Amino acid sequence: MAVLEAQWWRRSPDTVKPTFDFLSQFHHDSHAFWYERFVGKESFKEALVWLSSRGEVRYVYIAAHGQGDYLECPNGDHVSRADIKKCLVKALGASSLDGLYLGSCLFMSARNAQYLLSASNKMAWIAGYETSIDYIKSAALDLIFWHLMLRHGDLTQRARIAQVAAELRHTMGGLVDELGFSVYVRQQGTGELVDLMDRQAVA
């Protein structure tokens, strides 16, 4: 997998990297993820295309401040959902990317999920938050999500994300609802967008 992160606050070195370092050590793989930082729109696009094009990268986690239809860069640039989709379209022809996770406030609506999943039929799922999220609470949910993804590596991609979503809903359902966390997939046969974290959708 790969982690692509912006600086969160001007005078703070906070980063999600230790979360993924811990996961790598816990699962006995010190090289479990690629890590890149971005400052503006151009460095974001360059890094996302490069990471997504790597054959060994199956998932990309993007960590940045978000708004309805865009991500915020430290230099003041905005990365629109159209920018993200263009990067995915450019990269996915030669990649094995199965999932995209947006660790950002206010971005992961069903509308944005549908738009980004349309970049390629290869990408199986997209996840993220629709509300304004607490940094520590979302970090805890992120940690459990990726721990489950690594633990269920023997399953097919569709079965894997379904199992992770089911366990996450069972163990952290209150936090999932509080943070507006969703995991969107295309329903087999119809292609309809389904949120695996929706109680009614998976009932």
Domain range enclosing 33? 2-202
pLDDT digits (tens, 9 = 90+) for 13-60: 889 999 999 999 999 776 779 999 999 999 999 999 999 888 889 999
How many domains are there within the chain? 1
Task: Tell me if 129 sits within 8 A of 105, measured CB to CB.
Answer: yes
pLDDT digits (tens, 9 = 90+) for 54-91: 888 999 999 999 999 999 999 999 999 999 999 999 88
- pLDDT at 203 > cutoff 50: no
Residue 177: pLDDT band (50, 70, 90) is very high
Which pLDDT does position 96 carry in this prediction?
A: 77
- Residue 193 phi/psi, 5° resolution? -75, 130
- pLDDT at 202 > cutoff 70: no
Q: Mean of the pLDDT values across residues 166-192?
A: 95
Task: Tell me if 168 sits within 8 A of 176, measured CB to CB.
Answer: yes
CATH of the domain at 156: 3.40.50.1460
Q: Mean of the pLDDT values across residues 93-116?
A: 92
Alpha helices in the chain, H assignment, sequence order: 17-26, 41-52, 81-92, 110-117, 135-151, 157-179, 199-202
Q: What token pair was written down for 107?
A: 């971005």
What is the C-alpha separation between 31 and 27, in angstroms, rounded? 10
